[in-house]
Structure 1
Amino acid sequence: MFVDHAVIYVKGGNGGNGIVSWRREKYVPRGGPAGGDGGRGGDVVLVVDEGLRTLVDFRYQRHFKAKSGEPGGPANRHGANGEDLVVKVPPGTVVRDRDTGEWLGDLVHPGDRLVVARGGRGGRGNAHFANSVRKAPEIAEKGEPGEERTIELELRVLADVGLVGYPSVGKSTLLRAMTRAEPKIGAYPFTTLHPELGVVELSEGRSFVMADLPGLIEGAHEGRGLGHQFLRHVERTRVLVHVIDMAAVDGRDPVEDYRVIEEELARYRAELADRPRIVAANKMDLPDAEEHLARFRAAYPHLEVYPISGVTHQGLQPLAERLYQLVDMTPEPASREAEVADATARKVYRLAEEEPIKIYREDGIFVVEHPEIEKLVQMTNFDQYDAVKRFQRIMKSRGVDDALRAHGAQDGDVIRIGDMVFDFVD
């Protein structure tokens, strides 16, 4: 089954908790704090596997969580880091954050890696909180939660040559004649519902990959027919081959067919107009094909046209030789998102002001929103007296107490930060 789109949930491992522990050795009085730090959580990493050709595996597994870090140990022992979770994807996979639409990466070559959910750092043990004033701190951090998000995977087939054209013009027959591929062929529109790949071998060391792409119809750039499911795969091909039914078997007009297909490609992505292309005038073994070919050449005198027949194999060798030349001289096209990301990487960034603390009232409860303060709540162990006092000091130093008073909070009012609910003490 060919699947070229998937949505999955990924979560990095949580950091391991730091611990409260003391140095307990004979002849070492007042050994001091010795609680170790927790280990870092594992990352979720996408890795290109050249043996994969589809996203079908993500139909059956859609949740991926990396291992959490281990808690720290006594005697300042650091907890083990969580193991990364490696998720294999096929070459040509584009990754986006589904909720924000942010482009995350374009995985093309075997071995390419992309971290899509980072693991949380380990919590610090009580040895980290000792100082000249507080020599025996009863405090240790919880591990930081791992990053989580829902991502969208989109597969764009990697091929040197893409066959484009209306349904039933003979693209699948041509692919089978030029390669060892066995595409499904039928006498009805949209026989090909997904890309089929094959390798054209000319001689020792001379070959290229050809893709039979699903048939276009007018309005495809707006999603009609197979629409964007087809057009996303065109972006990856170096050379385009217009397969035209030059015998007009179904009453089609070869001249008009070429015009409409070119218009659909340009409307989808203007850069496709610069992609090398040639015309394969198919079905030349049928009556009236020569007459239509003469009219087609007159309408488009600037085009390279190769009269062929996918059934009789007429003209396939010259077509293959010319395609190899074009592939050899044409660089691999960059994806639209990669170009945007590259331009973004060259921007100069300046230090932005710290994000303000957001406070509002909801159902009688004062809600505090700020990413760093919410993370502080998640990593504080409220069962430890010293940890609670530290939390209170940080809230005061960050101005949260004053901000709550400014919003009308009074002694005994309920405050919520993240999942934590507590009373305000003035």
Structure 2
Amino acid sequence: MNPSNPVAVIGAGPVGLAAAAHLVARGLQPIVFEAGDRVGASVREWSHVRVFSPWEFNVDPAAVELLDRHGWDAPPSEGYPTGAELVERYLEPLAATPEIAAALRLGARVTGVTREGVDKLKDAGRDEAPFELVVDEDGSERRYVASAVIDASGTWTQPNPLGAGGLRAAGERALADRIAYGIPDVLDTARARYAGKRVVVVGSGHSAFNAILDLVALRESEPATQIVWAIRGQAPGRKYGGGGDDQLPERGALGAAVRGLVEDGSIALAGGFQTRVVSTRDGSIVLADGEREIVADEVIAATGFRPDLTVLGELRLDLDDRVEAARALAPLIDPNLHSCGSVPPHGVDELTHPDNGVYIVGMKSYGRAPTFLLRTGYEQVRSVVAALAGEWEAAHRVELVLPETGVCNRSPVPDADATAGASASACCGSGSTRDALVDVQAR
């Protein structure tokens, strides 16, 4: 590693900025590329969501140390931040520290990474060549040389489609304006879109739970609102989470609240529903699955996210063919193998690729697997940066124990409906029974 070249960090979200803080702490020079015009661009898109982990799990120790040196007004460790609070009280102050601000490039989208002068096919001189990043800055292409690359760009901008086979359902692209991917703010900025409407939420992870609970809260003041929850598995089962056995109480309460809504008939559950066709009829949007269809006014696709690996296409990566995570990490997080919400501590060893010096960290490191916690990403960058600094004892030292979900099962998991995303606190009232009003019918 050539110390005269900076370490490139892709993404200025929580994990990317934490990587920069660790680089500064170990005397390495970061350069941080953020495609958005502000830090935390993806977090801002779920700014209304209150996460299920307290502040202490959402801040990085090296970042906190840097912030404290500049007189940071730290939030109470036991509070649960919204996305907006995470940005305003943590990410923006961190990005404003002189050490990070000098390294930050906003409006800088990395479009490609390679070894300088050495394409993917060539062996000669590969290990000695620095990395070259192609960056679009306000329409102008610039090139930067780096000694290493830490990709913390996340997966938020790559939502999974409605289609059950991993591709868009027939008609999905044409009707994209009727589908909201992720977690729309149904109680505020998107209220008019959903109030008094028939809404189907597709997905079985925490993003779906958040959307359902917000819709139920909306129905308190807009009683004509109708809600159906469509999942690919036959029944939610372990997807509800561990309830009172979860070591993160708000995470357990989130699933328990949705379970209660299903059991008392407040929302309709369409189990075993695999969307194959999306169409319209009489102004409504129709999701079809062979023998059945769901008719609604609006669709929320909370079907998880996947990594965009095209930027790293000229690098030699060793990725699992199912999870799309680093091969050594994949068995620890593959939802086909187990349902554990916590993952064995891991770092540079599990994240290393054949092109030494490139690391995928944060949510993107999990590929298509769910249940990522920010603390996991912080531990990843701590270990990776220690290795880049040549401090291998620190790189291999375990400094993280994650809270269990209470639903750990290491036997093969059927109907693994891998959905992921930010999660909310369970804080909504229940509505009246709506099964008869939700149009889930046989064709």
Q: Same fold (TM over 0.5)?
A: no
RCO greater where, 1 or 2, for CA within 8 Å and sep 6 or more? Answer: 2
Q: TM-score, normalised by structure 2?
A: 0.23
Q: TM-score, normalising length from structure 1?
A: 0.23
From the CA coordinates, give the structure whose radius of gyration is larger: 1
More strand by share: 1
